[in-house]
């Protein structure tokens, strides 16, 4: 999984710099957007190869980027490429909601993978605390719904605002979505009384 700072650079900063840089040099919207997609596509593909395991979300990201690029090139419409992140949010929403059919929902397994030191605590809570399990199921539902809203917002913005304005709105929508997703996570886990067990900073061990 890609780290936060690297994601900000490759998925947000570089594409924006490439797009507006090429536009300043006289490139068309479609050309500038196509070139701007390349860093994120390479980063996603490399991440999949390095993980050496099936990553449904990562595969959906790469597939969505490739398909949106192909469709944009064939159609010759830059707006088809502007909505590419919506085609990432929609599969993510589907995978997230579908994971509710499995023993452990996606939000739980992803959080556990991101916090390996807390994984044993989370697993113990999952096995012994029914409220903890229910909280993660509701968190998963909220995340899936939020991803759908994110996709709809991106599509509407891509087809209503001027083309050269839309790329700058992408990171804003991304940040707003990430912040919004924290609300149900914090509220639901705090209501179960397990938030501090999972997310509170670990106290350093004092050697006497």
What are the tens digits of pLDDT across the range 74-112?
777 788 878 878 888 888 899 899 999 999 999 999 888
Task: Give a yes or no: residue 207 inside a domain.
Answer: no
**Residue 102 confidence (pLDDT):** 92
Query: How distant, in Å, are the alpha carbons of 39, 80, 89 from that of 36?
Result: 7, 14, 19
Task: Give a yes or no: residue 104 inside a domain.
Answer: yes
**Residue 60 confidence (pLDDT):** 60
Task: Give a yes or no: residue 208 inside a domain.
Answer: no
Task: Give a yes or no: residue 18 inside a domain.
Answer: yes
Task: Give a yes or no: residue 204 inside a domain.
Answer: no
| Max avg pLDDT among 5-19, 46-60, 176-190 | 176-190
Kindly indicate the confidence band of residue 57, based on its pLDDT and cuts at 50, 70 and 90. low
Tell me if the pTM is above 0.85.
no
Task: Give a yes or no: residue 138 inside a domain.
Answer: yes
What are the tens digits of pLDDT across the range 16-46?
888 888 888 888 888 888 887 777 777 767 7
The neighbour count for residue 101, using CB atoms within 10 Å, is 7
- 143: containing domain: 4-199
Domain count, the chain: 1
Task: Give a yes or no: residue 48 inside a domain.
Answer: yes
Contact between 33 and 81 (Cβ < 8 Å): yes
Kindly indicate the confidence band of residue 132, based on its pLDDT and cuts at 50, 70 and 90. very high
Task: Give a yes or no: residue 205 inside a domain.
Answer: no
**Residue 99 confidence (pLDDT):** 94
What are the tens digits of pLDDT across the range 150-197?
999 999 999 999 988 888 888 889 889 988 888 989 999 999 888 888
DSSP the chain: ---HHHHIIIIIIHHHHHHHHHHHTT--HHHHHHHHHHHHHHHHHHHHHHHTS--HHHHHHHHHHHHHHHHHHHHT-HHHHHGGGHHHHHHHHHHHHHGGGSSS-HHHHHHHHH-TTTHHHHHHHHHH-HHHHHHHHHHHHHHHHHHHHHHHHHHHHHHHS-TTTHHHHHHHHHHHHHHHHHHHHHHHHHHHT-HHHHHSPPPPPPP-
* CA atoms of 157 and 108, how far apart (whole Å): 31
């Amino acid at each position: 999984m890609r780290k936060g700072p690297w994601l900000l650079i490759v998925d947000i900063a570089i594409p924006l710099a490439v797009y507006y840089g090429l536009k300043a040099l006289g490139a068309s919207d479609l050309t500038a957007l196509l070139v701007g997609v390349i860093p994120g596509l390479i980063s996603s593909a490399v991440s999949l190869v390095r993980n050496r395991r099936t990553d449904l979300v990562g595969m959906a990201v790469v597939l969505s980027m490739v398909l949106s690029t192909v469709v944009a090139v064939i159609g010759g419409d830059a707006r088809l490429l502007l909505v590419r992140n919506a085609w990432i949010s929609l599969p993510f929403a589907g995978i997230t909601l579908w994971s509710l059919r499995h023993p452990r929902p996606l939000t739980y397994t992803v959080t556990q993978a991101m916090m390996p030191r807390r994984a044993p605590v989370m697993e113990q809570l999952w096995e012994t605390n029914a409220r903890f399990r229910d909280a993660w199921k509701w968190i998963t539902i909220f995340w899936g719904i939020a991803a759908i809203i994110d996709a709809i917002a991106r599509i509407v913005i891509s087809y209503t605002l001027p083309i050269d304005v839309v790329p700058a709105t992408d990171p804003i929508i991304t940040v707003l979505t990430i912040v919004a997703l924290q609300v149900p996570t914090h509220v639901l886990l705090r209501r179960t009384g397990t938030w501090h067990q999972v997310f509170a900073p670990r106290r350093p061990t004092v050697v006497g």
